[in-house]
Structure 1
């Protein structure tokens, strides 16, 4: 848990971010990759000191130590001790971190790159939009919580949040983000494997952005991405167990990436346990791409293996072959919403018919 000095330093950091207009700018850029490319250009043309602060909070830019102390005061030393600020030969930086806007919350997370462990991306933003649709606050379970993005939003909406992640090394940044947003009294973190971290509590909302990238045998880009050969290993475990922990009016929100045929993603191992426990399931198939087309999503996957021993053509072939082994030729991004019903059924909503973005429908 953070001490009083650390919480005060994070309050001072938030005050600077708001006062200097960084919060407003970040709300415009969101997390869309194209917009962040625009941000890199805007840093070059914005007036000082705004440009310097924006580079500091988003792109690894440095502040002169004297400038950092003038702006953040005594909080500078506390934030250094917390590992948020790093002193380098170029000056004070955020190290690997960046600050992003998450539907009204500010989140410190890793900048994009290989082997990221403290993640926030476009899929985080997509899951948040579904959480916004749950109008009545209650008790929320945030599985695979990472740095706490979804829990922050839920707490801001009035939920009491229990968060679980298997990575102990995200705990500090989770607590930092809770304090940065003044929500630490509504949020708690436990390091565990999914429901092993939950006592006999029932939740009004269970949400998860689990490891979801299909990972053919012999390939790996780290625990936060590895969803098993079909992308559904962790997601299916959640779907099997979640009904035991949901209130009568509770909702389960999941999202993932998986192989499928022309009519939708192949999700039987996720949907079946929910139907068998009397749930109505809606699957929003957001994006579809033929693996053989070497489209932007597949090429993005290939690019993610840069820095490993995997050869690009080998990665493409393994994805195509793995999908073909289960009679699939497409890869989908999707979201699932389930709730109890007297008429359990599954409906697939083919948003990909009109949508060309991986996570933005």
Structure 2
């Protein structure tokens, strides 16, 4: 165990020593990673000897070992940690890439159509809003690769990090070790609350659940499927929040929710679940995507579904047409992006306050006005 801890400590120190930490601190983790690198290289930024390292660790591309000669010790440590593979003079990615956000390293899947070790815009939407509470207990539901858990633990909290997928759990543990935070994070493989002690209480519960509204009749990659209104898993989380949230605790969640034609937001299942619970708080609406044939949401869902199951359609255009019709069959006219903050009911502050800052306009970035 001590040898393993020393291995990850050496790797973190080597990141600092070769300048990788500061390089990654200066590169955006949002948006198209290939475009980010192309723009950096085209503008003449990034020292020449670091370009192969960026292709390997930021994009997940294979790079000739000779082009990484200045980083021999780093590459060996990465190989020992299972992040890269050395083979016949080539350094290959294991499908993982590095990210740096809010002072922590996060290893996650390289860009692909159906990531399981996920780190995306919704991850950032939640992570940027976290306010760690030193000395308090945190619970991270649908934790994925663990960015929320890492930020809370780095802020002095003890965290239970819950993730259902075994492969993703292993990456969650890797990230805790890489940041020297495995002593503060307990990673649990399970579905939401099922593996938790029934009388456990947490001061800060955060969740980034599967949240994409997927119309009935469409098979969609597991990691993002939030049910037809986007609220399927969020509703399950809300149902038991009063049991696990401490009396002065707070819950924080990001999500998307579909709205039907002529329906008010009060008809959305998540809003109803909160109104019927012992919880109060705010739901801030930050953006809105209208459903029409070439809307960004329809195209995004169609591309993901097509790449995950290319034999179902002859082209992505056919997928777009069918998926739009499926949304119409569900009477979905638009989708809101929201941030939800909840606490146990206070006699002076009951119910859910919905704050619409979207003005029926898209987000500038996901979960940003």
Judged with a 3 Å threshold, the aligned counterparts in structure 2 of structure 1 residues 313 and 137 are, in CA distance, closer, same or farther, namely farther
Q: Is this contact kept in 1: 2:66–2:89, CA < 8 A?
A: no
Partner residue in 2 for 1:193: 191
C-alpha distance in 1 between matches for 2:63 and 2:178:
20
Partner residue in 1 for 2:244: 245
Deviations 1:9-45 (Å, cap 9, x if unpaired)? 2222222322333322323333221576222332463
* TM-score normalised according to structure 2 size: 0.86
Partner residue in 2 for 1:174: 172
Deviations 1:304-323 (Å, cap 9, x if unpaired)? 12322344455445554454
Root mean square deviation of aligned Cα: 2.7
1:80 shift after superposition: 3.0
Q: Is this contact kept in 1: 2:287–2:358, CA < 8 A?
A: yes
1:325 shift after superposition: 4.7
Partner residue in 2 for 1:284: 284
1:277 shift after superposition: 3.4
Match of 1:5, SS state, is: helix
1:144 shift after superposition: 1.0
Q: Is this contact kept in 2: 1:10–1:179, CA < 8 A?
A: yes
Q: Is this contact kept in 2: 1:212–1:227, CA < 8 A?
A: yes
Partner residue in 1 for 2:342: 338
Comparing 136-145 with 147-156, greater Cα deviation is found at 136-145
- What are the residue-to-residue correspondences of 1:120-135 with 2, within 5 Å? 120-132=119-131, 135=133
Match of 1:130, SS state, is: coil
Partner residue in 2 for 1:202: 201
Q: Is this contact kept in 1: 2:218–2:323, CA < 8 A?
A: no
Aligned residues: 357
Partner residue in 2 for 1:151: 149
1:191 shift after superposition: 0.8
C-alpha distance in 1 between matches for 2:98 and 2:16:
12
Match of 2:203, SS state, is: strand
Match of 1:196, SS state, is: coil
Match of 1:29, SS state, is: coil
Judged with a 3 Å threshold, the aligned counterparts in structure 2 of structure 1 residues 94 and 313 are, in CA distance, closer, same or farther, namely closer
Question: Tell me, which stretches of 5 or more residues in structure 2 are unaligned?
Answer: none
C-alpha distance in 2 between matches for 1:129 and 1:267:
29
Match of 2:82, SS state, is: coil
Comparing 136-145 with 322-331, greater Cα deviation is found at 322-331
Partner residue in 1 for 2:85: 86
Partner residue in 2 for 1:304: 304
Partner residue in 2 for 1:101: 100
C-alpha distance in 2 between matches for 1:257 and 1:293:
19
Comparing 18-27 with 180-189, greater Cα deviation is found at 18-27
C-alpha distance in 2 between matches for 1:81 and 1:172:
15
1:179 shift after superposition: 1.3
Question: Tell me, which stretches of 5 or more residues in structure 1 are unaligned?
Answer: none
C-alpha distance in 2 between matches for 1:111 and 1:281:
36
C-alpha distance in 1 between matches for 2:14 and 2:38:
21
Partner residue in 1 for 2:38: 40
Q: Does 1:29 align with 2:19?
A: no
Q: Is this contact kept in 2: 1:86–1:93, CA < 8 A?
A: yes
Q: Is this contact kept in 1: 2:11–2:77, CA < 8 A?
A: no
- What are the residue-to-residue correspondences of 1:270-281 with 2, within 5 Å? 270-281=270-281
C-alpha distance in 1 between matches for 2:253 and 2:322:
26
1:62 shift after superposition: 4.2
Comparing 271-280 with 219-228, greater Cα deviation is found at 271-280
C-alpha distance in 1 between matches for 2:332 and 2:152:
36
Among candidates 341, 355, 360, match of residue 349 of structure 1? 355
1:189 shift after superposition: 0.7
